[in-house]
Amino acid sequence: MQRLQSLTKLMAVAVLALAANSAYAQARATVELKPQELQARATELKLQPAVLKNIRLASSRLVSFNGWAVVQEFNGDFESVAKNFDTFSAEFKAQKIQAAPGQAAVLIVLDNPSNGSFQYLVGYEVKGKVETKGALKLRQMEHPSAVRYTHVGAYEELGNVHAGVASSVKEFHQKATSFPVVVRLLNDPRKVSPGQRKSEIIVPVS
């Protein structure tokens, strides 16, 4: 009797695994494009085909993101980020605020950067609420539904990455992306070349 129950359980697990694999295969089939179509869409979005392929995969799975950061607001283009981050960092240290250990610096893009100059926040992630003063503000980053994608390359390329995410979200979920967009700076933009800048872009979906 026990052997029969065990066999039944194993069969049930096998059926669930097959169903999961089938669903995964169907999802992959939906995400993946034929090489010619992938190339055409990548050219239209000004992205490399391999980059667009990864963007589409990330956009097929919506996730949540929540955190806190101490930030300072600036206006400028992507090249101004590194200089303004120095300004913020000096004030952050002067106020003796502790960044969350092991967490990334953040760039929060408040509006569409397509025109070159835009409003943005730079800051450090912190654990929960901390006291700030002057130009520094505490901000909660709360996005119940978002796309998270890691990009290596110049910050100027993030506009095209965002366009790829927006296009993919519309295709897969029939939804739109929105601002603010959170960019977690996974290495120091002051210490690496633009092509080596590693960032995670978190795009809210409404």
- The DSSP output letter for 196 is G
pLDDT beyond 60 at 66: yes
Predicted confidence (pLDDT) at residue 117 exceeds the cutoff of 90:
no
| pTM score | 0.80
User: Quick one: pLDDT band at residue 138, thresholds 50, 70, 90?
Assistant: very high
pLDDT at 137 over 80: yes
119 forms beta bridges with: 75
> Could you tell me what percent of the chain has a pLDDT over 70?
85
> What gap in Å lies between CA 116 and CA 135, rounded to an integer?
24
The C-alpha atoms of residue 164 and residue 83 are separated, in whole angstroms, by 28
pLDDT of residue 182: 96
Determine the 3-state secondary structure of 151 from DSSP: strand
Query: At residue 26, does pLDDT exceed 80?
Result: no
DSSP 131-150: ---TT-EEEEEEEEEEEEEE
Instruction: Find out whether 92 and 136 touch, Cβ atoms under 8 Å.
Output: yes
Q: What percent of the chain has pLDDT over 90?
A: 62
What pLDDT sits at residue 205?
97
Q: Which of 10-19, 54-63, 89-98, 119-128 has the lowest mean pLDDT?
A: 10-19
Regarding predicted confidence, which is higher, 23 or 106?
106
The stretch 122-149 carries a mean pLDDT of: 94
- pLDDT computed for residue 11 by the predictor: 55
**9-23, 28-42, 159-173 — most confident range:** 159-173
Alpha carbons 126 and 124: distance in angstroms, whole number: 6
Question: DSSP for 70-93?
Answer: EEEEEEE-TTHHHHHHHHHHHHHH
Contact 135, 23 (CB under 8 A): no
Name the pairing type of β-strands 63-76 and 118-126.
Answer: antiparallel
Mean pLDDT of the chain: 86
> Which tokens belong to 189?
């933009």
- Kindly state the average pLDDT of the residues 46-61: 95
